[in-house]
A and B are shown apart, each in its own frame.
Chain A
């Protein structure tokens, strides 16, 4: 087999689009926090790009896509990316693209998943604790779970397959990461929100989003990048990619409307934050399903995700945990909804590699597999994240001091402020040249 330049071009472009999602997420989250924490919020995403890319190169790619034979994790040891220059990825079959393109594409998923968690612990997390958490979490949670779900094993000449992840080999359908990315991140977000505790003044003092235009820019970039995320997961420029792309669009559109309708009836006004949040909820929910359902099914999934997530974000006040930017309400709930929906709406008419769900005469088999994937990824991620978070909390500490939190984490952790407010800008500590002279108006 020779490499296909069309497929390669699409996967390379999709890779860049998925990278852009993490800065997009930084805008989305950054606009939602208060002005005094915008930089730290964005930094949690940016530093994650740094950490995960380096770990991926050293051992991450091997741990996720290597072959240990266990189905639980890939190979332990160096990633050996250099040896993949001229090879093609064999992931349940050979794809006619460079293995390095596949590896880079998958790296971007590993980057954004821990970044998603950061929204749950906004305004109060020590940067060094976050760096340590992310480094260990991707190693013992993300890379293994990516192996469970995304590694379809090596297909040999006689047709046999070895080294597949245990969920992938059971026929679980998760096209682009409803489990490995969204449920995984959502479960970890819930665990960390519980471990770190509430922000000072949570549910008593106002914590309004400080910059909604920034939130909308972020949502727009996420939406754009998500076409790479979902349609790129076809690993080729083909009909499957087109199906994933159109489903991503219509589900997101329907979710935006679903969230706004709930707001109109519950709160009286449709909000821009609701439009942005609804869009993201739709993107999350369609992620696992985008290449397994018909477009009308995608509309249903999106609409349900928008409405359900709009209601779910209120739960944190009821249960009293401070998931600051609703990672649980949007990513965990939306991810579960999308994965389970495949069990109803999956159809082989759009994708012969998929399966029929309940509504297409497939019975409960697929639904059962989907539920198994949801429960196992949630449980694994929640437990490990809770234990890891607790260890960090009792050793180096996970939170900044109360005083630093109240006066603003940007100043405490970075010695920077996000916005220049004129009068309070101070003076040069050391001046270049002599005193300033000249006219003043």
Chain B
């Protein structure tokens, strides 16, 4: 199994989520995140005092899927999250050893 983590622009979340639902992805975790890539954040000025705000608000999506589904899920996220401007985000995947459904104790594929 694979854990796919996507950091995207918050305003793209709804489209990405709909695309994933259409693909049949059964569940996901969404959280607010902040970070920066190559360009860093922005500046704010309060009574003439300038502050550099490095962290930019982002949304983090985490999805655990079967190995075979990983590529199509990644492709769907990349296609719907892209706006062709800087800060569109990153997607990465990693291998997962185990998943357990808490209510039933099912493990592995059955737990997805």
Closest-CB distance, B34 to chain A (whole angstroms): 14
Closest to A325 in B: B47
Whether B51 contacts A314 by the Cβ 8 Å rule is no
Query: Smallest CB–CB gap between B102 and chain A, Å?
Result: 13
Q: Residues 37-64 of chain B: 1 if any A CB is under 8 Å from the residue's CB, otherwise 0?
A: 0000000111111110000000000000
In angstroms, Cα B51 to Cα A271, docked, is 14
Task: Give the shortest distance, in Å, between B46 (CB) and chain A (any CB).
Answer: 6
Residue of B nearest to A310 (CB): B48
Chain A residue at smallest Cβ distance from B45 = A267
- Chain B residues with CB below 8 A from A246, complex form: none
| Residues of chain B with a CB closer than 8 A to A267's CB | 45, 48, 50
- Residues 5 to 44 of chain B near chain A (Cβ within 8 Å): 44
Q: How far is B19's CA from A408's CA once the two chains are assembled, in angstroms? A: 45
Q: Is the CB of B49 within 8 A of A317?
A: yes
Chain B, Cβ-Cβ closest to A314:
B48
Q: Are A208 and B51 in contact (CB under 8 A)?
A: yes
Instruction: Determine whether the beta carbon of A208 is less than 8 Å from that of B48.
Output: no
User: Which residues of A are found within 8 Å of B50, using beta-carbon distances?
Assistant: 267
Closest 8 CB pairs between A and B?
A267-B45, A314-B48, A313-B47, A206-B51, A273-B46, A208-B46, A313-B48, A208-B51
Q: Are A271 and B49 in contact (CB under 8 A)?
A: no
User: For the complex, is A397 an interface residue (Cβ under 8 Å from B)?
Assistant: no
What sequence of 0s and 1s flags, for each residue 369-410 of chain A, a beta carbon within 8 Å of any chain B beta carbon?
000000000000000000000000000000000000000000
Q: How far is the CA of A24 from the CA of B49 in the complex (A)?
A: 24
Q: In the complex, what distance in Å separates the CA atom of A317 from the CA atom of B51?
A: 14
Nearest residue (CB) in A for B47 is A313
| CB neighbours of B47 from chain A (8 A) | 273-274, 277, 310, 313-314, 326
Residues on A with C-beta less than 8 A from B46 are 208-209, 271, 273
12 more CB-based (< 8 A) A-B contacts, given A273-B46, A314-B48, A314-B49: A206-B51, A208-B44, A208-B46, A209-B46, A263-B48, A266-B48, A267-B45, A268-B45, A271-B45, A271-B46, A277-B47, A313-B47
A209 and B47 CA atoms in complex are apart in Å by 10
In the complex, what distance in Å separates the CA atom of A310 from the CA atom of B48?
Answer: 8
Q: List 6 A-B contacts (CB under 8 A).
A: A208-B51, A209-B46, A263-B45, A267-B48, A267-B50, A310-B48
Number of contacts between A and B (CB, 8 Å)?
28
Please tell me if A80 contacts chain B, counting CB pairs below 8 Å: no
In the assembled complex, the Cα of A273 lies from the Cα of B47 at a distance in Å of 7
Q: Number of B interface residues, CB 8 Å?
A: 8
Tell me if A269 is interfacial: C-beta within 8 Å of chain B.
Answer: yes
Chain B proximity of A43: nearest CB distance (Å): 23
- C-alpha spacing A221/B46, complex, angstroms: 21
Which residues of chain B have C-beta atoms less than 8 A from A274's C-beta? 47
A209 partner residues in chain B, CB cutoff 8 A: 46
Q: Kindly state the separation between the CA atoms of A274 and B49 in the bound complex, as whole angstroms.
A: 12
Enumerate chain A residues within 8 angstroms of B48, measured Cβ to Cβ: 263, 266-267, 310, 313-314
- Tell me the A25-48 residues at the B interface (CB within 8 Å): none
Shortest CB distance A286–B (Å) = 21
CB distance from B40 to the nearest CB of A (A): 15
Beta-carbon contacts under 8 Å, A234-284 to B: 263, 266-269, 271, 273-274, 277
| Interchain nearest-CB distance for B56 vs A (Å) | 15
Q: Which residue of A lies closest to B44 (CB)?
A: A208
Shortest Cβ distance from residue A203 to the other chain B in the assembled complex, whole angstroms: 8
**Which chain A residues (291-330) contact chain B, with CB distance < 8 Å?**
310, 313-314, 317, 326
Assembled-state Cα–Cα distance A317/B45 (Å): 14
Interface string of A164-177 (1 = CB under 8 A from B): 00000000000000
Residues of B within 8 A of A314 (CB): 47-49
The residue of chain A having its C-beta at the shortest distance from the C-beta of B50 within the complex is A267
Please indicate the chain B residues that have their CB under 8 angstroms from the CB of A266 in the complex: 48
Provide the residues of chain A in CB contact with B51, threshold 8 Å.
206, 208
With a cutoff of 8 Å between Cβ atoms, the chain B residues found around residue A208 in the complex are 44, 46, 51
Within the complex, what minimum Cβ distance (angstroms) separates A387 from chain B?
30
Q: How far is the CB of B44 from chain A (nearest CB, A)?
A: 7
For the complex, what is the distance from the CA of A201 to the CA of B45, rounded to whole Å?
18
A271 and B47 alpha carbons, distance in the complex (Å):
9
Residues of B within 8 A of A310 (CB): 47-48
Q: In whole angstroms, how far apart are the Cα atoms of A314 and B45 in the complex?
A: 12
Distance from B52 Cβ to chain A, minimum over Cβ atoms (Å): 8
Q: Measured between C-beta atoms, what is the minimum distance from B42 to chain A in Å? A: 11
Q: Tell me which residues across on chain A come within 8 A of B49, comparing CB atoms.
A: 314, 317
Q: Which residues of B contact A269 (CB under 8 A)?
A: 45
Closest chain B residue to A311, Cβ basis: B48
Give Cα A209–Cα B50 distance, bound, in whole angstroms: 12
Q: A383 vs B45: C-alpha distance in the bound complex, in angstroms?
A: 34
User: Which of A206, A209, A314 lies at the interface centre, i.e. has the most chain B CB atoms within 10 A of its CB?
Assistant: A206
